[in-house]
Amino acid sequence: MRIETFALFCGVACLSFGLLGLQVSVPDSVILLAMGGWGIAAWRHWTNPRVFSGTLAALFAALALMGLIPGLSALAGMKPLQGLDIWLYGGTALLAAYFAFRPELSAEHRASGTPDRREHDLPVEHERRHGHGDRRLPSVSEEI
């Protein structure tokens, strides 16, 4: 799976959970909505998908650790994270870290403004071919 596809799946999942608000607090829904929108933007290459995956990994790992430490689980007005929430955040963080640190999973997009070298005809010193350079066209020596 490419990192762009992962960003789309995470974006749709986070938006769905954020909009449904399944027994979560307002700050938790805001985080999910923001990450969902960012995931879809990363899928469209409006932002970098690797940066999205790295940030998702760091943020969800922090939320999983907050759920493991009893005093931090209700920080900033959030509902205390318990059981499956911790596993969900931790698993998503590990999966996002996998995609963030594997550059070969990203599709290549050329951002340079230099033109491709094959776009221009350049003369050569000794032409080895006989006839027209474009093989689809008849040569001067050929009869039509």
What's residue 15's pLDDT? 93
What's residue 94's pLDDT? 96
- What lies within 8 Å, CB to CB, of 54 at 6+ separation is 96, 97, 100, 101
Domain positions in the chain are 3-102
pLDDT one digit per residue (tens) for the chain, 144 residues: 888 999 999 999 999 988 987 777 888 888 899 999 999 999 998 999 999 999 999 999 998 888 888 777 677 677 777 788 889 999 999 999 999 988 776 665 555 555 555 666 666 666 666 666 566 666 556 555
Cα 42 to Cα 19, 39, 46, 47, 128, distances in angstroms: 19, 5, 6, 5, 48
- Element counts in the chain: helices (H) and strands (E): 4, 0
CA 97 distance to own-chain centroid: 12
Amino acid 38 reads: W
